[in-house]
Chains A and B, each alone.
Chain A
Amino acid sequence: GAGVSQTPSNKVTEKGKYVELRCDPISGHTALYWYRQSLGQGPEFLIYFQGTGAADDSGLPNDRFFAVRPEGSVSTLKIQRTERGDSAMYLCASSLAGGIQETQYFGPGTRLLVL
């Protein structure tokens, strides 16, 4: 079956611009996660959705970052007033539910470059 998909695969923008990154989870998965990975580091948690609501957004670095999942499926990560330090790989994952035994399946990521 189809896995997690993310679009675009690459995004180049200029400092100060607004960007949106999209994630399509595996069909039927109620839990969705966003992570960010800087070069040479492991992925770091940003936000977790259970259904339509953000159950934990403690990993969002500041108020320029925002994510939505209005219908409990597709999610969009939004970054306002981008900075060069936002350049990273943004990864989305989904799981059937949000429990400890639920395996998270990752998408291919969106590589964001802020010039």
Chain B
Amino acid sequence: DAKTTQPPSMDCAEGRAANLPCNHSTISGNEYVYWYRQIHSQGPQYIIHGLKNNETNEMASLIITEDRKSSTLILPHATLRDTAVYYCIVRVSGYALNFGKGTSLLVTP
């Protein structure tokens, strides 16, 4: 699977949009970009995934650049409960998610 690079930590004010970047410059054409998050002491929670097109669901939006070498996860109105570690994962095989270290997002009041 392609390697991903994420900032180790980010802050965001409550109510503002949180934009979490991810670089995956070695991604290949059939690799999906997945985002999970992990709130302290809980299991990872699936957020969203995409291949080429931008995606949106009730939790977040995923913006993938045209060359697919980077993506951004957007939480449109961050709340304190969004404080978590966010993992960007590029996936080609059917299993074995490679989580890396992720971005620790702190949402402040």
Contact = CB atoms under 8 A, between A and B. Distances in A.
Contacts of A101: 32, 49
Nearest to A6: B43
Interface string B90-103: 01111111111110
Interface in A1-49: 4, 31, 33, 35, 41-45, 48
A88 to B, nearest CB: 13
B99 to A, nearest CB: 3
B97 A104 contact: yes
Q: Which secondary structure dominates chain B's binding surface?
A: loop
B87 to A, nearest CB: 6
B92 A105 contact: no
A45 B99 CA distance: 9
B65 interface: no
A50 to B, nearest CB: 9
Contacts of A45: 95-98
Contacts of A91: 43-44
Contacts of B34: 103
Contact of A107 (B43, B91, B95, B98): B43
B43 A33 contact: no
A52 to B, nearest CB: 16
A90 B99 CA distance: 14
